[in-house]
Amino acid sequence: MEKSILVVNSEANDINTIFKFYDLAVAHQKKVSPQQWKGFSKDLVKQEIKEYRQYKILVDGQVAAIFAITYSDPQIWADSDSVDAVYIHRIVTHPDFRGQSFVKVIINWAREYAKAAPIDYIRMDTWADNEKLLHYYTSCGFTHVGQKIVEPNSGLPEHYEGITLNLFEIKLTV
């Protein structure tokens, strides 16, 4: 039987689920990487929900993954931030749903989203020392477009300070 997969906006009552997913992500990061997220502000996530920038992927009605978007990311993308893009952040898949290619689901969602919004690129970043994710994202259709060293006091969450990121994008043809 075919599974029902939907990408929908998160709602205010999803806040505990979102933070549970972040905790699951940190636990996984501790197993596979020397770097981990240091936590996120509830106010930030509440604002993303209010602005319809926090999403969940439902599989047969169950939350399987979450992610957030923004339309500008100057601390990471610097001068190239001036193009019309959707920036994907904080993708977290519940352990019970790993391996189901949700990045491809997000890419397909972004392509559809771009039909109604002025978006020329789908962009994302990840820690530069994670070769496995570099290969996974390129296998999903992203082009690795370079690296960025995040300056101290960038205004980004603490775990970004002084690290090198791999930058990825997909050029959309609408």
**Which of these ranges, 11-20, 34-43, 61-70, 90-99, has the smallest mean pLDDT?**
34-43
What are the residue ranges of helices labelled H in 56-168? 74-77, 102-114, 131-139
Query: Of 46-50, 62-66, 77-81, 168-172, which range is least confident?
Result: 77-81
pLDDT score at 132? 85
List phi, psi (to 5°) of 108. Answer: -60, -40
Burial profile 114-129: b = 16 or more Cβ within 10 angstroms, e = fewer: beeeebebbbbbbbbe
Least confident of 34-48, 119-133, 151-165: 151-165
Query: Which residues have a Cβ under 8 Å from the Cβ of 143 and sit 6 or more positions away?
Result: 168, 169, 170, 171
Q: How many other C-beta atoms can be found within 10 angstroms of the C-beta atom of residue 142?
A: 21
The stretch 81-107 carries a mean pLDDT of: 92
Give the model's pLDDT for residue 95: 95
- Indicate if the pLDDT at residue 116 is higher than 60: yes
pLDDT at res. 15: 97
The alpha-helical segments, DSSP class H, found in 125-168 are: 131-139
Average pLDDT, the chain: 90
Read off the pLDDT band of 174 (50, 70, 90). low
- Domain regions of the chain by residue span: 5-171
Sign of CA dihedral 26, 61, 9, 109: positive
**pLDDT(42) > 80:** yes
What is the average pLDDT across 12-33? 92
CATH classification (class only), 5-171: alpha beta
| Phi, psi of 130, rounded to the nearest 5 degrees | -105, 85
* Residues 122, 166 contacting (CB under 8 angstroms): no
Please tell me the total number of residues recorded for the chain in this structure.
174
* pLDDT(76) > 80: yes
59-93 burial string, b = 16+ CB within 10 Å, else e?
beeebbbbbbbeeebeebbeebeeeebbbbbbbbb
